[in-house]
Each structure stands twice: as structure tokens, then as C-alpha cells.
């Protein structure tokens, strides 16, 4: 049988997501001074962990319809959630239409089309406008039954995301709990799933979760500070996948736990995480994921944890993935934010000459991170917009 015929005849895959590897990164471990494990969610069919949550949501909705129904899927995210909806629909042999705001990057529109979207409609200035248009002017005219797909705010999405943490717990050496888990927060669907799984595995008190946001998309940070949900007036970060103005109420509740620390870094550091991951591990991810990787470099992890890291610490970085990246974007970020590496190099030179040695591992204080809180002060911001450090303020 010809290859083309084989693919045309192939049965659609039944699960819209896959189990991903958990791989120890020696390069990142060397940089961070502890054992770094990468949960490779960039290998999901849609390119991000969103395949899990959106995939599970669609499966649950299908169960509610008469057996054999072939509903049309509708989504309004121009980002990774939209891509996950299209990929999931395809895996289940269904059609998917996506409405995205006009500001959606042509790259993402092209990826939605290439993934096999039935139709991609661009409408409205912001996600809300696109979403309203989808619900009021597109879905009512569908000829078949329909499934509306939200991007993050639904318990079935969190349940799908929780599979990621169950896998990690089974994959870590000794099937143990990680000492630290690093994951980014947009609307909060990912961290909700992770915390749910930790609760059901009873490992919540063994693992410190670093909840990462970029400056200009720090809706969780703002909520923690205010001790209530806050709607950000504007998103100014380039990490648009994290650009959700308000987190879910469950996200705030989980993040108020003792084992969760909120960390905000500037876009420049998220970008640095992306280009260094590409160099060190040959993996391309978008800013929403690079923010997690950035913590592995130049003493940032110690600063975020507020304690020295130990070589035996097992740190899991959720490599959530994301399709909003090209080799050209990586180069542009590297040019625009080159000062990040220059500053680190400058600090390294200073510390080397102070020590009278030619090389040396970088300690938190050497990289200008002398504001490590003596206790859990939440939320904390490492660099950039604010430093809520008791000892320095």
C-alpha cells in the first residue's frame, strides 16, 4: 500500500494527547546546580500541554451526546488552545472552526489552517469580541450539533491537565515527588490541574511549585498581592499565551498555599530561556514556556526558592511548549535582549576577579540577587517590575 493511501485509510487516533517523556537535562542541571528534569509537553500533537485539557474537555462533551454524534467543534483562541482544539478534533475525526481576533499573529493563523481547521475567521480587536462573535453569529448557524471549547476555565480542562502531573510522579526516578516544580500561569488551567493531581497523590506538601508569569501578564501575582481576584487593565507582555487578564478563583486558592511561590520575570528573561534552551537542548518553545527555563540559569532558581539549591534536588520544568516561535523569532529576541547575557557576563567577571579565580559557579549574590526573602513572602518578583523583599525594603 502506498504511503499516501495508508495515511488516508488510517483510523483516527482516539486520544487527543500523548504521554510525553520526562528527560533529565544534563546541560540545564549543570547550569542550575541540581537535577533538572524536562517534561516535554512540546511533543504533544498540538505543540503544547493544551492537548491534554482541551482533548479531555471534548471527550467529556462527546459522552453527553447520543452515541455516534459527529458535532462540529468551535473555539475562539488564536493561541495554543485553538491549535489544541483543531488537533483534538482531527484526532477524533471531527471538524473544528476557530474565530480569532484580528490581532492574532499571521504565524498562528497559518498554523491553525495547516493543522486542518475547517475554517479560521478573524474578527474583533480582542479575544472577547472574537468569542462573542463565535457564540452569537457563527455557532447558531451550524447545521449539526456543536461543542463550544473554552481555552482554560473548565474543570474538565483541569482534569485533562492533571494527567501531566500523574505522569511526572510515575516517571521521576524512584517514582518520587519532585522537590520543585516550575510551571507558567496564564488563566491558571495548567496549575489547577497540577495541584489537583498533587492532592490526589498526597504529595502537595513535598513539592514547592514556582508559578511563573511575565511582567505585564502577572494576573496571579496581582491577585495574590490584593488577596482577591484582580482583572489587569491591560496586558503588556509579549508572552501573549500568558496574557489572561484574570486567573480562575481556584488558581488564586491554590496559589495561596504554603508550597506555591509566585515569580514574575521580564519578557527579556523569558526570551533568554527560549534561546538558551534551543542552544542547550535543541528544543524550540515560545515565551510562555521560556519563562520556566530561564529559572535554570545564573542563580535565578536559588533566588526564586529563597534558599540554596542542593545537587540532589529534583526539579521538574514543565516544558509547556507553544507554537508561537520560529528560528527567526529566536534570533530577533537574542538581538533585542542581548544585554541579559552581557550583564550576567559582567557580573561573572566581577565575581571572578573578586575571588581571584578564573572560573567559578555563580551564586545568587554574584548575579545581583541579594534580595532573597528570609521567609516565604508572597508574591515575589525576582527582577524587573518589583522586589518585595523584606530585608532590602
Ligand X SMILES: Cc1ncc(COP(=O)(O)O)c(C=O)c1O
Task: Choose which of 268, 283, 289, 329 interacts with ligand X (CB under 6 A).
Answer: 289
Q: How far is the CB of 290 from ligand X (least distance, A)?
A: 10
Report the site for ligand X in 205-244 (rule: CB under 6 A).
Answer: 241-242, 244
C-beta closer to ligand X: residue 38 or 367 = 38
Task: Choose which of 36, 81, 108, 197 interacts with ligand X (CB under 6 A).
Answer: 81
Task: Choose which of 80, 196, 237, 344 interacts with ligand X (CB under 6 A).
Answer: 80
Q: How far is the CB of 146 from ligand X (least distance, A)?
A: 22
Task: Choose which of 190, 252, 317, 367 interacts with ligand X (CB under 6 A).
Answer: 190
When asked if residue 185 is in the footprint of ligand X (CB under 6 A), the reply is: yes
Q: How far is the CB of 184 from ligand X (least distance, A)?
A: 4
Sorted by sequence, the CB contacts under 8 Å of residue 188 that are 6+ apart come out as 152, 220, 244, 247, 248, 250, 251, 252, 254
C-beta closer to ligand X: residue 296 or 372 = 296
Candidate segments 85-93, 96-104, 228-236, 283-291, binder of ligand X by CB under 6 A: 283-291
Report the site for ligand X in 15-44 (rule: CB under 6 A).
Answer: none
When asked if residue 321 is in the footprint of ligand X (CB under 6 A), the reply is: yes
C-beta closer to ligand X: residue 108 or 389 = 108
Q: How far is the CB of 362 from ligand X (least distance, A)?
A: 27
Task: Choose which of 37, 152, 254, 275 interacts with ligand X (CB under 6 A).
Answer: 152
When asked if residue 320 is in the footprint of ligand X (CB under 6 A), the reply is: yes
Report the site for ligand X in 47-76 (rule: CB under 6 A).
Answer: 48, 50
Q: How far is the CB of 22 from ligand X (least distance, A)?
A: 17
Give the binding site for ligand X (CB under 6 A): 48, 50, 79-81, 152, 184-190, 241-242, 244, 286, 288-289, 320-322
Amino acid at each position: 500500500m502506498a504511503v499516501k493511501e495508508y495515511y488516508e485509510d488510517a483510523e483516527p487516533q482516539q486520544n487527543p494527547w500523548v504521554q510525553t517523556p520526562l528527560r533529565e537535562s544534563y546541560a540545564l542541571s549543570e547550569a542550575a546546580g541540581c537535577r533538572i528534569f524536562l517534561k516535554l509537553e512540546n511533543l504533544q500533537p498540538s505543540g503544547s500541554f493544551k492537548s491534554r485539557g482541551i482533548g479531555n474537555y471534548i471527550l467529556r462533551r462527546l459522552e453527553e451526546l447520543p452515541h455516534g454524534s459527529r458535532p462540529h467543534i468551535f473555539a475562539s483562541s488564536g493561541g495554543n488552545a485553538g491549535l489544541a482544539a483543531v488537533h483534538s478534533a482531527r484526532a477524533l475525526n471531527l471538524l473544528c472552526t476557530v474565530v480569532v481576533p484580528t490581532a492574532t499573529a499571521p504565524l498562528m493563523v497559518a498554523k491553525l489552517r495547516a493543522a486542518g481547521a475547517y475554517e479560521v475567521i478573524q474578527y474583533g480587536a480582542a479575544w472577547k469580541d472574537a468569542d462573542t462573535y463565535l457564540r452569537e453569529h457563527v455557532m447558531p448557524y451550524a447545521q449539526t450539533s456543536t461543542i463550544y471549547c473554552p481555552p482554560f476555565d473548565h474543570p474538565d480542562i483541569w482534569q485533562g491537565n492533571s494527567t501531566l502531573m500523574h505522569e511526572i510522579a510515575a516517571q521521576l526516578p524512584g517514582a518520587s515527588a519532585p522537590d520543585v516544580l516550575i510551571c507558567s500561569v496564564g488563566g491558571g488551567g495548567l496549575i489547577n490541574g497540577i495541584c489537583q493531581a498533587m492532592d490526589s497523590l498526597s504529595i502537595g506538601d513535598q513539592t514547592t511549585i514556582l508559578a511563573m508569569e511575565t511582567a505585564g501578564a502577572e494576573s496571579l501575582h496581582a491577585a495574590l498581592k490584593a488577596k482577591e481576584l484582580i482583572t489587569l487593565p491591560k496586558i503588556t507582555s509579549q508572552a501573549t499565551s500568558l496574557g489572561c487578564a484574570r486567573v480562575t478563583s481556584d488558581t488564586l486558592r491554590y496559589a495561596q498555599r504554603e508550597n506555591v511561590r509566585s515569580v514574575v520575570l521580564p519578557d527579556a528573561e523569558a526570551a533568554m530561556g527560549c534561546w538558551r534552551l534551543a542552544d542547550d537542548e535543541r528544543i524550540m518553545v515560545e515565551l510562555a514556556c521560556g519563562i520556566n527555563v530561564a529559572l535554570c540559569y545564573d542563580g535565578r532558581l536559588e533566588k526564586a526558592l529563597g534558599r540554596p539549591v542542593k545537587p540532589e534536588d529534583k526539579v521538574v520544568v514543565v516544558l509547556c511548549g507553544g507554537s508561537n516561535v520560529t528560528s527567526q523569532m529566536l534570533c530577533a529576541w537574542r538581538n533585542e535582549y542581548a544585554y541579559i547575557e552581557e550583564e550576567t557576563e559582567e557580573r561573572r567577571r566581577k565575581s571572578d576577579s573578586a575571588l581571584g579565580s578564573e572560573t567559578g559557579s555563580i551564586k545568587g549574590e554574584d548575579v545581583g540577587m541579594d534580595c532573597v526573602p528570609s521567609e516565604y513572602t508572597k508574591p515575589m518578583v525576582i527582577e524587573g517590575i518589583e522586589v518585595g523583599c523584606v530585608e532590602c525594603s
